[in-house]
Structure 1
Amino acid sequence: MIPVSSWGRLSADSHHLLALNDPAKIPDLICNGRHPAIAHGMGRSYGDVCLNPDGVLWLTTGLDHFISFDSNTGRVACEAGVLLRDIQQLFIPLGWILPVTPGTQMVTVGGAIANDVHGKNHHQSGSFGDHVQRIKLLRTDGEIIECGPEDRPDWFSATVGGLGLTGLIVEAEIQLRPVSGPWLDVDTLPYDNLDEFFHLADSSEADWEHTVSWIDCISGSGRGMFMRGNPGDARPGPEPKNSKRTMPFVPPVSLVNQLSLRPFNMAYYHLKKWQSGRSIAHYQSFFYPLDNLLEWNRMYGPKGFFQYQSVVPRDVGQAAIQEMLKEIARSGDGSFLAVLKTFGDRQSAGMLSFPQQGVTLALDFPNHGERTHKLFERLDAIVREAAGRIYPAKDARMPRDLFEAGYPRLHEFLKYRDPGISSGLSRRLMGS
């Protein structure tokens, strides 16, 4: 048994680890196992969706081979352990890019499908599952299911965003989109309140593919920096050199605290306001700014941190977000890393997919125990009243009733569950 944590570092429960490296041997390794298991890729989920305390983890990063690529259509087939980073680095020079990518590229294809990750362009491109053309799924009874949007679409809908619970994703085929290079034309604009944010978000959707904002969660006013970008043709010079740094140790207390948060947010806002305007950005700095600081999750100290990400419908979104910001400011806790963005009017591919039309707020909170949980209870009440939902990929403590209310297709999904697969999250929210 080996202790394993997810990205939030909230626990280090013991697991049996089973590395999956040879596709030919996988059926013998996972089928008819005596103990339920769950697939585990890079462990970038924040809570317990990728954990199975006292159980088995199937380690999938060894399934890292590309299978085929059609240079005419941009369709790539690969094993489930291939990283989004590897797809970007290999195919952007060839004129193709992932249509949707989350805030880190250190995610496996299997994990991106299982959590139906989203990016900054949901209003135009939906979520990751909208661009998956085929999934090869291995059930623990040995059945192999090949599914896609048109082929066994019920299995496809259960598996996209299905939290890894319908079977082991072994392979996938993804439709890439054409791109002229690695650069984006970016416009950065300060805003003083939520009225201005929503005006910017609405007025940018038609002409800008990517929109996102950083918000000062403790300012009270809802001020922040709005960023929008489009793929660019400009060739400003060589690609930036690898300048990654590493958070070298776990400090004895969280570096994100009441003493550091307010001055950091104030300084960050005014610096970015001074730097605002048009610029050209490399895709890595625009899409994945945190990937430049390796092990950044250590900054929250030995108790780890939670991420709380919710989405609320647009018609009540401004009032709900304002109320959440008031609760956060009142608590004295908060985050350097607070993201506010809108989701478009698109039906998600998965039964349990997180995105819905509305506005989503994501914040990191140091783990202060009961104090933090009390804050989350107040935020839960706002989300519940607004008929919103919490993102399972980021969750470590959502109450079961909020999960059931937020995901009305849950009962439809349950008939596709693999009884040989279980996770900390599934036992907490589904009972097994």
Structure 2
Amino acid sequence: MSAFRTVELAGWGRYPRRPGPVAHPRSVDEIATLLQGGGIIARGNGRAYGDSAMGAAATLDLRRLDRMLAFDAQSGQLVAEAGVLLGDVIAAFLPQGWFPQVTPGTKFVTLGGAIAADVHGKNHHRDGSFGAFVDWIDVMNADGKVVRASREEQADLFAWTVGGMGLTGVILRAAIRLRPVESAWIAQQTIPAPSLRHAMDAFEAADDALYSVAWVDCLAKGPALGRSLVITGDHARAADLPTQYQSKPFETPRKRRLSLPFDAPAAALNGLSVRAFNALYWKRGQRAPRHRLIDWDSYFYPLDAILGWNRIYGRRGFLQFQCALPLETSETGLAALLSETAKAGQGSFLAVLKRFGAQESRFSFPMAGYTLALDFPANARTFALLDRLDAITLDHGGRFYLAKDARLAASSLHRADPRAETFRNMRREAGLDRAFASAQSERLIL
């Protein structure tokens, strides 16, 4: 009996959707057997937004490889299987005084997925991306052989696998480093920025803060273009906590989890509703306390508090646009992107701006500059708008984030990022292109 069963697959954006064979291996030997057909991609918890975790021929769901194998309390090194969720790491080690060095905006990603996408967080300007804290990776190659790759051994494989979107082999296990922290609280500062220029000045002034991120009102126009709430943060010391928490610095109040069990009506999310939400959120942010302590979950993962929040965009799903712009063109490029979005009237209430630090890598997304992420309902108007945003990004020397992509043209990717052709050639020469392929890699000619 075949280990594969046909199921409908989609990313977190719920677009595109397509049926395909999926297997749920429990062991390394089983994975080696399943690779024999070729055209395989490994999948974690399905939090990539588009089609990067949908196999060209078949998909391996690795969530059953979910064991934490070893931990060194001196160095903070954790050895774990690829299917372990970041949230499970936090649950196990935050009470012991450890936290991920880098985390994306959801804790429901697997370690294998975090490495494959080389995810970034709110501290890239200080610490870089997830891969900077990966010591080694066990990767299964096209022949079913497991190779340990690090910066010292199999260095090329290591460099291409971090950010390689699962296209260099199946990530099985990894050693990552955690950060020592004194509490489960973040000392947060909110800085209202009445324009894009003010927001960028706030980022540069807050360069010493460990974390920084901004919510952007992407429908504001004129002098208010790019008005933002810039939010910085640092791990709070135990001595700085209120008295009731100083003796138990890793305890936080229990939070009520909400859920959206149904698809919202498509008409509910439109320019008027988003404009009203953005105006309200801006005013609320201006009145909010400038400095306060906030629990780790609320600071890093506000959307995780609403299970199934992706349903808010309706049955057709949504598309996310995320680009990075080099520092020298960031201001003009961001202004053009926000102006085009405001002009279209298709605002995103999840518009996020971050400052990136320098990063040299084989195929990872970040570059020194700024990154802007925007969410839109999946419809014809959105596709047309995203084509225009692609063109603006290209005109300003930017690049695109493959973990968020569901519809980028291959020509746009290869024009934006000459590394894509080098990556493609490496895969072909190593025979990886036949063994490992996703719907995204075929679409983008990788």
TM-score bracket, shorter-length normalisation: over 0.9
* C-alpha distance in structure 1 between counterparts of 2:124 and 2:151, whole Å: 18
Counterpart residue type for residue 298 of structure 2: S
CA contact (8 A) 2:329 2:397 kept: no
For residue 36 of structure 1, report the CA deviation from its aligned partner.
1.4
- Which residue of the other structure, out of 197, 204, 228, is the alignment partner of 1:224? 228
CA contact (8 A) 1:256 1:335 kept: no
Counterpart residue type for residue 353 of structure 1: S
Q: State the percentage of identical aligned residues.
A: 39
Summarize the alignment of residues 5-404 of structure 1 with structure 2, pairs less than 5 Å apart.
Answer: 5-30=10-35, 32-33=36-37, 35-52=38-55, 55-206=57-208, 208-220=209-221, 221-233=225-237, 234-236=240-242, 237=245, 238-253=251-266, 255-348=268-361, 351-369=362-380, 371-404=381-414
For residue 147 of structure 1, report the CA deviation from its aligned partner.
0.5
* C-alpha distance in structure 1 between counterparts of 2:48 and 2:30, whole Å: 27
For residue 418 of structure 1, report the CA deviation from its aligned partner.
4.7
For residue 143 of structure 1, report the CA deviation from its aligned partner.
2.3
Cα distance per residue 1:331-389 (max 9 Å; x no partner): 010111000111012324xx1100000111101001122x2121112111111111101
For residue 254 of structure 1, report the CA deviation from its aligned partner.
5.0
- Which residue of the other structure, out of 401, 411, 416, is the alignment partner of 2:421? 411
Counterpart residue type for residue 60 of structure 2: W
* C-alpha distance in structure 2 between counterparts of 1:179 and 1:356, whole Å: 28
Cα distance per residue 1:18-56 (max 9 Å; x no partner): 0022234332233x22x4111111111111111136x31
Give the TM-score, by structure 2 length. 0.92
Aligned length: 424
Counterpart residue type for residue 141 of structure 2: R
For residue 88 of structure 1, report the CA deviation from its aligned partner.
1.1
In structure 2, the CA distance between the partners of 1:393 and 1:254, relative to structure 1 (3 Å rule), is: farther
- Which residue of the other structure, out of 5, 8, 11, is the alignment partner of 1:3? 8
Counterpart residue type for residue 80 of structure 1: A
Summarize the alignment of residues 411-430 of structure 1 with structure 2, pairs less than 5 Å apart.
Answer: 411-414=421-424, 415-416=426-427, 417-430=432-445
In structure 2, the CA distance between the partners of 1:359 and 1:231, relative to structure 1 (3 Å rule), is: same
In structure 2, the CA distance between the partners of 1:422 and 1:254, relative to structure 1 (3 Å rule), is: farther
SS across alignment from 2:84: coil
Give the TM-score, by structure 1 length. 0.95
Stretches of structure 2 that go unaligned for 5 or more consecutive residues are: 1-5, 246-250
Stretches of structure 1 that go unaligned for 5 or more consecutive residues are: none
SS across alignment from 1:184: strand
